[in-house]
A and B are shown apart, each in its own frame.
Chain A
Amino acid sequence: MNMSKSPKFESVKTFFSHMKREFIKNKNIVGQLVKRNVKVQYRNSAIGIVWTVLNPLLNMLVMYLVFGTIFGYSSDKTYVLYLLCGNIIFNTMRGATTQSMTSLVNNRGLLTKNKIAFQVFPLSCNISAIVNFAFSYVALLIVMMVVDTSSPFMHVFSAHMLKAILMMPAFFLFIYGVSLVLAAAYVYFRDILHFYNIFLTLWMYMTPIFYKVNTISGSFGKFFVFILKCNPMVHFVEYFRQVTYRTVAETSITETSDEAIKQIMAIQDSVIIDTNLATLYILGIAFFAVGLLIFSVSKRNFMYKI
C-alpha cells in the first residue's frame, strides 16, 4: 500500500491520502513490533508473562534486604513501597532507552529491504516499555495493599492514582526523546553502548531510588540536592512517589502515638525534592524536541551507516 515515492505530488488530495496511508501503515507496524517485543521477553519460559509482575517484586525484595539493612530502613515497612516506586520508573526508562538504542541496527535486515520509517523502531521499544510498566504497576498495587491493610482498595481508585496516569505522557515524551538520541548515535558510534551502560549505573546512583535524600545532611547535603534537581529522572521518580508512596504511607499509620507522628514526619521529609506536573511536561517536551531534531537531522545518512 505504499505509494507514489515522488517528492512532488500530483495534487493536494494525493498528498493527504499519502499521509494517511503512511500513518496507517506505520501504526500497524508499530502494533506488530510492540507485540513482538513484549512476547519475546517470556518466550520459552515456564511461567511466561507472570515474570513481568514477579520481576519487579523480587528485585524490590533484594534491594529491601540489602539497602534496608545498610541504611537501617528495614524497620519501616513502607520502605518496600518507597523502593518499588523508584525502581519501576527507573527501570522503565532503562528498558526503553537501552532497547531503542540498538533497535535500528538490530533491524538492519528489515530496514535495508523495505521502506519503513526509521522512527517506528524506537517508538515500538518505548511503547513496549510502557506496557511493561503497566505490568509492574500491578506489582505496585499488590505491595500497596500489603503496606496499607486498613484500606486496601481506597488508593487504587483515588485521585492520586489518577495523577500517576497524568504524568505518563510527559514521562513517555522524556524517554522517547532520550531514546531517539541514543538510537541515532548508535548508528554512527557503536561505543555508545558500553558508555551508556556505565552512565546508567551512575545515573541510578544519582537518583534517589534506594536512599532517602533527607538522610544526607550538612553542606554536602545541600550541594547534593542541587545536583539531584538537575537530574530530570529525579523529577519523574519523586513525582511518582509523591502521588503513590507518600499518600499510602501516611494513611497506613492509623494510631496517634508520638511514635506514629514521628513516622509521618519522616515520610514527609523523605520527599524533599518538590516537583509538579508542569515541570514534568516541560522536561518531557524539551527532551522530545531535542531528540526528534537530532534524529531527523542524522537519519539522512542512516541507510549508508547502518
Chain B
Amino acid sequence: MKKNKMDELELSQSAIDINEELPVIEFNDVEMEFYMGSEKIDGLKEFFIKFIKGKIDRTKKKVLDGISFSVKKGESIAIIGHNGAGKSTTLKIITGILKPTKGSVKVRGNVAPLLNLGAGFDYEATAKENIYLNGAILGHSKKELEKKYNDIVEFSELHDYMNVPLKNFSSGMVARLGFAIAIDVEPDILLIDEVLSVGDENFRQKCSAKIKELKEKGATFVVVSHSIGQIKQLCQRAIWIENSKLVADGPVDEVCAKYEEYCKNNKH
C-alpha cells in the first residue's frame, strides 16, 4: 500500500517536473565565488599566526560571472573552454553539490552525475559492496539495486570479479564499474565530465550505444570534454566559457570553430 502511494507521488512529481514547455536546466545570471587557495588554513596555529599578522587572505576569485543559459528536454549540450574556465563548477552547480553565490538555478528532473568515475569507491571493499554503496549514493533503494544488480554486472563485463576487493582492480576496470553503475540510473539529465574515454575500444562502443539509447528515450545531456571530435559527435549545441564568462552559445560546429580559432591565436 505504502509503495503504491509513493509511486503515485513520484508520477505526479515527474508530471510537474518534466514539462515539455519548461527548460530542464535554467541558469539565471549565475555567479560563483571561491576564496583563493592561500586562505585554506588547516591548523589552529596557522590560523592564529595569520590572524595576528592580519594576513588572512579574503580575496575571492570569480569562477563564474553572470552565466545564463537554459537547456530544453532532450537537448545535448557541450560545455567547452580552457582548464579552470569554470566548466566543472557549472556541472557541480547543476548537480547541487555547490550553491551559486548569486543568481538562480533551476533543475527539473533527476540528475545523474558522471563526474570522475569511481570517486565514491571504497577500495578495500569488494566490487559488489561498492555497487550497493554507490547505488545508494545515486539514490537507489536496496530493492531497486537488487533488481539492477545483474544489469550492472552484465554491462561492466566483470562477472568474475564481483567478490574481489577493488584495490586489486586495474584503473580501466574501476572506470568500467563506475560507468556501469552511473549509466544504469536511467536519468532525465546526465552530466558527463571527461569520462567518455574509459575502457578499451569495445567498451567505449558499448558506452556510445547506451548513450544513444538514452538519448532516444529523451534524456538530456550536458558534456564537458576537451575532445572536439567527441563533442561534435554527441551534441548539437555548445556553450563556451572563457575566463568565467559565457563567450558563445549556439550550434556545436559554429561555437567549436570559434573556440579552435581562439586557441590558435592565443598560442603565442
User: Does A associate with B in a complex?
Assistant: yes
Q: Which size bracket describes the interface of A in this complex?
A: 35 or more
Interchain CB contact (< 8 A) of A113 among B44, B115, B132, B139: B115
Q: A113-B120, A303-B97 are in contact. Are A10 and B129 (CB under 8 A)?
A: no
Q: A2-B111, A191-B45 are in contact. Are A113 and B116 (CB under 8 A)?
A: yes
Asked whether A6 lies within 8 Å of B137 as measured between CB atoms, the reply is no
Asked whether B17 lies within 8 Å of A32 as measured between CB atoms, the reply is no
Q: Is B209 an interface residue (CB 8 A)?
A: no
From residue A56, how far is it (CB to closest CB) to chain B in Å?
24
Q: A25-B139, A36-B129, A189-B43 are in contact. Are A1 and B122 (CB under 8 A)?
A: no
- B-contact 0/1 string along A20-64, CB 8 Å cutoff: 110011001101110110011001000000000000000000000
Chain A residues within 8 Å of B95, by CB: 5, 114-115
Asked whether B107 lies within 8 Å of A4 as measured between CB atoms, the reply is yes
With the chains together, A202 CA to B45 CA distance in Å? 22
Q: Is A17 an interface residue (CB 8 A)?
A: yes
Asked whether B137 lies within 8 Å of A112 as measured between CB atoms, the reply is no
Chain A residues within 8 Å of B13, by CB: 3, 13-14, 17
Asked whether B43 lies within 8 Å of A36 as measured between CB atoms, the reply is no
Asked whether B132 lies within 8 Å of A32 as measured between CB atoms, the reply is yes
Q: Which secondary structure characterizes the binding site on chain A?
A: helix
A33 nearest in chain B by CB position: B133
With the chains together, A40 CA to B138 CA distance in Å? 22
With the chains together, A82 CA to B108 CA distance in Å? 59
Q: Is A190 an interface residue (CB 8 A)?
A: yes
With the chains together, A116 CA to B125 CA distance in Å? 20
Q: Is B10 an interface residue (CB 8 A)?
A: yes
Chain A residues within 8 Å of B125, by CB: 36, 39-40
The interface-forming segment of B49-57, B98-106, B218-226, B238-246 is: B98-106
Asked whether B35 lies within 8 Å of A29 as measured between CB atoms, the reply is no
Q: Is B247 an interface residue (CB 8 A)?
A: no
B92 nearest in chain A by CB position: A112
Chain B residues within 8 Å of A305, by CB: 40
From residue A251, how far is it (CB to closest CB) to chain B in Å?
44
From residue A17, how far is it (CB to closest CB) to chain B in Å?
5
Interface positions, chain A 109-132, Cβ under 8 Å from B, are 109-116
From residue B254, how far is it (CB to closest CB) to chain A in Å?
30
Q: Is B34 an interface residue (CB 8 A)?
A: yes
**B17, B45, B94: residue with the most chain A Cβ atoms closer than 10 Å:** B17
Chain A residues within 8 Å of B133, by CB: 29, 32-33, 36
Q: Is A11 an interface residue (CB 8 A)?
A: yes
B106 nearest in chain A by CB position: A6
With the chains together, A207 CA to B180 CA distance in Å? 51
- A-contact 0/1 string along B6-43, CB 8 Å cutoff: 10011011001100000000000000001100001011
Chain A residues within 8 Å of B107, by CB: 4-6
Known: A28-B141, A115-B95. 10 other contacts (CB 8 A): A2-B110, A3-B109, A4-B108, A11-B16, A24-B141, A39-B129, A109-B119, A113-B113, A113-B120, A305-B40
Residue numbers of B with Cβ under 8 A of A are 6, 9-10, 12-13, 16-17, 34-35, 40, 42-45, 47, 92, 94-98, 104-111, 113, 115-116, 119-120, 122, 124-125, 129, 132-133, 136-142
Name 24 A/B residue pairs within 8 A (Cβ), A-sorted: A2-B110, A3-B13, A4-B108, A4-B109, A5-B94, A5-B96, A5-B105, A6-B105, A13-B12, A13-B16, A17-B10, A17-B13, A20-B6, A21-B10, A28-B136, A28-B140, A28-B141, A36-B125, A43-B124, A113-B119, A114-B137, A114-B138, A303-B97, A303-B98
